[in-house]
Amino acid sequence: MGRVIGGQRKGAGSVFLAQVNSACLHAVYFAERHGYIKGTLKYVIHYPGRSAPLAKVVFRDPYLFKKRTELFIAAEGIHTGQFVYCGKTAQLNMDNMLPVGPMTEGTIVCCLEEKPGDRGKLARASGNYVTVISYNPETKKTRVKLPSGSKKVISSANRAVVGVVAGGGRIHKPILKAGGAYYKYKARRNCWPRVQSVAMNPVEHPFEGGNPQHIGKPSIIRRDAPCWPQRTKTVQEKES
């Protein structure tokens, strides 16, 4: 019998496992809706498998007598020991978190909420940012420009962190050798190295066998076919 090819393994999916200490905005406190809360940036750390560094910010718990440590995606230009302000009346300074409604046009933000209270979904990779274009006070909507260049209208109550995500220019650094790619993908996912189909053994893929290396049959298939027929079946086989 043949083996299960890579397209079949990836198409089957897997059990989703959420991160235990995910970097996101904290829940909206009552003090943030009408004022602000102040925290202290303690550490800037590296998180394996993530392109951007993270910032550990310590806040006073608004309800209990204790301190809370939050993980934020670090913005460019921050430093340990600085104060971080979160809330509606916070100033428009680097790494402060506030709603996009009071922000002026042209402000650059990151870790933007797509819906109010989802704790940041947009512009989270290194070097990414979102630009505030306009604000409509009648509908309480804000128009922003995403990293892809597309425009999006969101609620003005959505929160965001002021600044650009740290670690920009990462993709411009050359890998230079295969060992660099090995360590790059070792921390992320099992997608490297990728062996071409015609270079495998005949037991591993239907495109295998024969020299010189060639598929040996048409590889075109209809667009809506699942991953397995797209890679292996031919038009003649599908019609028969």
- In order of their start, the domains of the chain are 30-162 (2.30.30.30), 174-221 (4.10.950.10)
Q: What is the residue-level pLDDT of the chain in tens, covering all 240 positions? A: 678 888 788 878 888 887 766 788 988 888 899 899 999 999 999 988 888 999 999 999 988 999 999 999 999 999 999 999 999 999 999 999 999 998 999 999 999 999 999 999 999 999 999 999 999 999 999 999 999 999 999 999 999 999 999 999 998 999 999 999 999 999 888 889 999 989 999 888 888 888 899 988 888 878 887 766 655 554 444 444
What is the sign, positive or negative, of the torsion defined by CA atoms of 113, 118, 119, 122? negative
Torsion sign (Cα): 77, 79, 83, 85: positive
d(CA 24, CA 7): 32
DSSP state of 42: E
Q: What is the DSSP letter of 122?
A: B
pLDDT score of 162: 97
pTM: 0.80
Q: Which amino acid is at 16?
A: F
Give the residue carrying structure tokens 């940012």.
129
- Tokens for 101? 């409604």
β-bridge pairing 97-99 and 108-110: unpaired
Q: State both tokens at 212.
A: 């010189």
